[in-house]
């Protein structure tokens, strides 16, 4: 009984609101409920004869816009019914007002709010996302200052770099442009310190076009800072040496990405580039990661790694680097720095070359191991649910093998030797 009373009260309240808003209740055009009509986005609101226009009632208009009503006759949609109170649909933002400008009601910037502003007030906002950064500028501020809101550009002004769009933030209309967080993309400048990588570009905003030029373009440097990690250092590198696969976790469901890359340092902030030659004897750090897996449940485990002089892991001329999750002693200095404890694994290798080859290929078998099964250290047997997949990278080696000098020898000229001998002979020993 209480539920019935509640529904009745809601109906009465809605009817009261509608009537208070000046809802249309005439007969020409008819109400859709009186002529068996309905509304749809393609045809608008029509009676059952599919010809005569009708007005919807009780929020029965899927368009939810002024298309529901005959605006030219002075009727507007207010989310409940057609009303004689001027409405913009969709409704205006907090810094706009609804006005009629040569046609149906339109949202226009509230001139009172932005009267007398200067360019110093214009401050683009920047949002830093994983893989992208976005910058937004208030549209009404741009209009009030006499600048274009639909013609932004970056350092590189090509069409490829223009990802501009309009949206709403905090009930204010803004125009934004999206950037990829990649080194060299459309003029991006990448810098870093010991803990962060910084991506910087410049946003240029042109003045409103006209016969006279009365102001200079505006420019703003926009920067995003990202924590320096194994993953971000790869994201912001141009052509890193890497390999990526998808892998199903041990005793689990889903598919996750696993990446192996080569780095110059243990902190994994300097990826080795594809065209970069590695000095024989220098340390190379293999970084393996699976950023999307659940780190509370799974760990990335490197089961084995081997090196070959060709892109054939079955090459008979090979050397085992890691076996059973631990480093082997096969003539190549290898250290397992981290393995089976998190979603990142690190293998350090002292770089070497096969006789007669200037490249070395490294292949590793990995798994997403369930932590409860024990994933670190050597394991004599594999879990029945183990799912291994192979990753492979290649390194270019220094092709000019110079002898290393361990001493410094100086040759004297014959003139110096002769002078020294003469001085020796003139010495009186007694």
Residues 274 and 206 occupy one common structural domain: no
Q: Looking at residue 386, what is its pLDDT? A: 55
Strand partners of residue 57: none
Residues 19 and 60 occupy one common structural domain: yes
Residues 261 and 307 occupy one common structural domain: yes
- Mean pLDDT for the chain overall: 83
| Contact present, 46 and 40 (Cβ < 8 Å) | no
Rg (CA), the chain: 36
| Contact present, 306 and 354 (Cβ < 8 Å) | no
Determine the average pLDDT of the residues in 93-101: 86
User: Which domain range does residue 34 map to?
Assistant: 2-87
For 341-374, the pLDDT digits (tens) are 999 999 999 999 999 999 999 999 999 998 888 8
CATH classification at residue 372:
2.60.40.4100
Q: How far apart are CA 55 and CA 47, in angstroms?
A: 9
Candidate from 294-298, 336-340, 386-390 with smallest mean pLDDT = 386-390
Sign of the alpha-carbon dihedral angle for 408, 409, 412, 418: positive
CATH classification at residue 200:
2.60.40.3210
Q: Could you please report the per-residue DSSP string of 249-263? A: PTT--S-EEEEEEEE
* Residue 408 pLDDT > 50: no
Contacts of 292 (CB under 8 A, 6+ apart): 256, 257
For 211-261, the pLDDT digits (tens) are 877 888 999 999 999 988 888 888 778 789 999 998 888 766 788 999 999
Q: Looking at residue 409, what is its pLDDT? A: 43
What is the b/e burial string over 183-202, where b = at least 16 CB atoms within 10 angstroms of the residue's CB? eebbbbebebeeeebebbbe
pTM to 2 decimal places: 0.60
Total count of domains within the chain: 3
Determine the average pLDDT of the residues in 69-94: 82
Has residue 219 been placed in a domain? yes
User: Cα–chain-centroid distance for residue 345?
Assistant: 23
Residues 44 and 78 occupy one common structural domain: yes
Residues 365 and 245 occupy one common structural domain: yes
For 383-398, the pLDDT digits (tens) are 545 556 788 999 999 8
Q: How far apart are CA 260 and CA 408, in angstroms?
A: 43
- Tokens in use for 333? 């200095």
DSSP assignment, residue 309?
S
Domain termination residue (choose one: 201, 228, 255) = 228
């Amino acid at each position: 009984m209480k539920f019935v009373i509640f529904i009745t009260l809601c109906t009465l309240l809605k009817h009261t609101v509608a009537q208070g808003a000046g809802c249309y209740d005439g007969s020409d055009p008819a109400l859709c409920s009186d002529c068996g009509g309905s509304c749809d986005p393609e045809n608008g609101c029509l009676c059952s004869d599919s010809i005569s226009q009708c007005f919807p009632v009780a929020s029965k208009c899927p368009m939810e816009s002024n298309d529901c009503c005959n605006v030219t006759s002075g009727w507007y949609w207010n989310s409940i019914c057609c009303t004689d109170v001027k409405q913009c649909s969709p409704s205006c933002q907090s810094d706009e007002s609804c006005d009629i400008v040569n046609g149906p009601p339109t949202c226009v910037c509230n001139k009172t709010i932005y009267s007398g502003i200067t360019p110093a007030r214009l401050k683009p906002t920047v949002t830093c996302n994983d893989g992208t950064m976005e910058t937004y500028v208030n549209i009404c501020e741009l209009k009030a200052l006499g600048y274009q809101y639909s013609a932004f550009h970056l350092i590189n002004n090509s069409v490829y770099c223009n990802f501009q769009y309009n949206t709403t933030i905090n009930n204010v209309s803004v125009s934004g442009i999206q950037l990829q967080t990649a080194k060299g993309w459309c003029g991006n400048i990448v810098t870093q310190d010991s803990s962060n990588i910084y991506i910087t570009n410049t946003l240029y905003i042109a003045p409103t076009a006209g016969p006279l030029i009365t102001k200079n373009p505006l420019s703003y440097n926009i920067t995003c800072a990202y924590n320096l990690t194994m993953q971000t250092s790869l994201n912001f590198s141009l052509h890193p040496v890497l390999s990526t696969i998808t892998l199903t976790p041990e005793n689990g469901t889903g598919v996750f990405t696993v990446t192996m890359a080569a780095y110059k340092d243990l902190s994994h902030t300097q990826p080795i580039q594809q065209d970069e030659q590695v000095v024989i004897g220098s340390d190379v750090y293999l970084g393996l990661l699976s950023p999307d897996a659940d780190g509370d449940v799974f760990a990335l485990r490197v089961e084995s790694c081997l090196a070959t002089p060709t892109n054939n892991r079955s090459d008979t001329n090979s050397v085992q680097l890691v076996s059973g999750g631990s480093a082997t002693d096969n003539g190549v200095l290898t250290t397992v720095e981290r393995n089976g404890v998190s979603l990142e694994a690190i293998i350090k290798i002292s770089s070497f070359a096969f006789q007669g080859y200037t490249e070395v290929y490294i292949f590793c078998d990995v798994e997403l191991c369930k932590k409860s099964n024990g994933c670190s250290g050597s394991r004599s047997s594999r879990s029945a649910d183990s799912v291994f997949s192979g990753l492979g990278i290649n390194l270019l080696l220094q092709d000019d093998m110079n002898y290393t000098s361990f001493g410094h020898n100086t040759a004297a000229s014959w003139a110096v030797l002769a002078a020294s001998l003469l001085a020796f002979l003139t010495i009186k020993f007694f």
